[in-house]
């Protein structure tokens, strides 16, 4: 990818990938099993765990790619494909609505809210893509990640209120618009990686 990504565009990309609006009904469904007094604490805990996982990927992702001897072009192409698949699920959700598998009983811990609810494979792929194609900008990517995470946390912590205010149909429509934006972004990543691969020979 030869285009210079700004902190703002990286933050928007990460926000779309984290998909907070799509996670609102998912979080509410999972947290039905949790006593009302504990729900906010559980959400904050899971959001912080997700942030820790994403920061770990941001810091150690490039070293992981170096160990695995993966080319930047391969990461860009793979990242585009992963984002595309996630975006397709946002636009055309599964019939049962369970994108992340069956809903468990009791209080969730790490799975499925933190991983893969917030810190999913698409977010990890996006961070790997940023750190591998434009290295040396970890602080900027950290700022973008923190901004996207804060916006995501604000939306998810207001999930009950948002669900009552907007309703499921409006949330679904907004998620599909975000999905369409992510599809365009994923295709651009894929084509950028393909172009770089062809030029590299």
pLDDT tens for 94-118 read 765 544 444 456 788 898 899 888 9
Average predicted confidence (pLDDT) for the chain: 85
Predicted TM-score (pTM) of the model is: 0.80
- Which pair of tokens denotes residue 165? 């205010």
Of 128, 108, 107, the C-alpha closest to 53 is: 128
% the chain with pLDDT above 70: 92
DSSP 69-95: T--HHHHHHHHHHHHHHHHHHHHS--T
| Exposure on the CB side of residue 25, measured as CA atoms within 13 A | 18
CB atoms within 10 A of CB 163: 16
55-98 tens-digit pLDDT: 998 998 778 777 888 777 887 788 788 778 878 888 887 765 54
């Amino acid at each position: 990818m030869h285009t210079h990504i700004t902190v703002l565009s990286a933050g928007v990309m990460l926000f779309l990938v984290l998909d907070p609006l799509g996670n609102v009904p998912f979080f509410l469904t999972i947290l039905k099993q949790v006593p009302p007094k504990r729900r906010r604490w559980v959400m904050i805990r899971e959001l912080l765990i997700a942030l820790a996982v994403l920061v770990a990927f941001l810091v150690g992702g490039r070293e992981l790619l170096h160990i695995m001897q993966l080319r930047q072009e391969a990461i860009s192409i793979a990242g585009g494909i992963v984002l595309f698949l996630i975006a397709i699920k946002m636009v055309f959700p599964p019939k049962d609505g369970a994108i992340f598998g069956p809903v468990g009983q009791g209080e969730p811990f790490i799975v499925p809210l933190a991983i893969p609810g917030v810190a999913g494979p698409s977010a990890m792929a996006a961070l790997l893509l940023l750190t591998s194609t434009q290295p040396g900008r970890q602080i900027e990517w950290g700022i973008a990640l923190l901004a996207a995470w804060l916006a995501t946390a604000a939306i998810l912590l207001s999930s009950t209120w948002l669900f009552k205010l907007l309703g499921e149909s409006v949330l679904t429509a907004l998620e599909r618009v975000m999905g369409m934006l992510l599809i365009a972004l994923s295709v651009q990543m894929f084509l950028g990686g393909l172009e770089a691969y062809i030029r590299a020979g």
